Amino acid sequence: MDVAVLTYDALPQLDAYDASLLPALAALGVDARPVVWDDPAVDWKAVRLALVRNTWDSHLRRDAFVAWADKVGRLTQLHNPAPVLRWNTHKHYLHELEQKGVRVTPTTWVSRGDTLDVGELAGKQGWDAVVLKPAVSAGALKTHVFPRAEAHAATARLAELTREGDIMVQPYLTAFETEGERSYVFFDGVFSHAVRRPPTLLDAPRGFSEPVAFTPDDAAELRLAESVLEAVGRPLLYARVDVATDNAGRSRLQELEATEPRLFLSLDAGAADRLARAIAAKL
């Protein structure tokens, strides 16, 4: 097999947004097949390249996932590489990027076993509402929004969450309700396409319900996305840079998705071919 396109056992044939990658690779003469990442029957030495795509249980089993990545990365090409996957699956990478000058959504980090007074923090920062988010999570799992008036409840929930792991406390960005997030997708460091996405927070109002492709017309925001990859300082075969507007009207990095993001290939006519060519160049 040339390329194992990695997924998980609940989605053995890949996500519909990204399934077009397989025929795009076949058109280049590349033998690519979906493979469940933790299938013990796979002989990784017989695979030329393993591509992490829909491994959507990795955040639930992070220790097992990064140990698996270390092992597989020694047996074949793994993209993104194991050190990137380990780094990107704990959101403290955002703090590192901020220290390198990337404009990130303001975040207070609360370590496992610690807590803080959310009302005091919100008052000091001038936040009308806060988001509590696990540092290891995906798809808004265990992410909560509290208005400042419910700060007591937020502090209690924070104490519950920090019993399980590290937690991020951020301001709730009201632009989510009308703009959602903008996702800038890059292949091998080159911008491919952009998608506007509704907020993932289930209790956030939504101005639209489905992701839609768009042509970036904000040069400064695209430059912000590019600066994120420059700050990483290591090559990424694929990356999705999620950006949102803060409460002062400025674009800020929300997430750098370099592990298992939807790349929304089906929303851009040439995206699957561009990714396929980037993969083929690694073989």
Residues spanned by the domain of 32: 3-84
Together in a domain, 99 and 218:
yes
> Based on the domain organization, do 134 and 160 belong to the same domain?
yes
Residues 239 and 185 in one domain: yes
Are 182 and 242 within one domain? yes
Pair 98, 235 in one domain: yes
Q: Which of 171, 187, 217 is the last residue of a domain?
A: 171
- Residue 140 CB-density burial (10 A; 0-12 exposed, 13-18 middle, 19+ buried): middle
* Bridge-based pairing state of the strands 77-79 and 49-54: parallel
Predicted confidence at residue 203, as pLDDT, reads: 57
Domain count, the chain: 3
Q: What is the pLDDT of residue 180?
A: 85
In a domain, 281, yes or no: no
227 and 256 inside one domain: yes
> What pLDDT is attached to residue 139?
64
Residuewise pLDDT in 10s, the chain (283 residues): 899 999 999 999 999 999 999 999 999 999 999 999 999 999 999 999 999 999 999 989 999 999 999 999 999 999 999 999 999 999 999 999 999 999 999 999 999 999 899 999 999 999 999 999 999 987 666 789 999 999 999 999 999 999 999 999 999 998 887 888 999 999 999 999 999 988 666 555 555 578 999 999 999 999 999 999 999 998 899 999 999 999 999 999 999 999 999 999 999 999 999 999 999 999 9
User: Is 67 within the bounds of a domain?
Assistant: yes
Same domain, yes or no, for 25 and 44?
yes
Considering the domain architecture, whether residues 15 and 57 belong to the same structural domain is answered as yes
Q: How far is the first Cα of the chain from the last one, in angstroms, to the nearest whole number?
A: 11
User: In angstroms, rounded to a whole number, what is the distance separating the alpha carbons of residues 93 and 20?
Assistant: 30
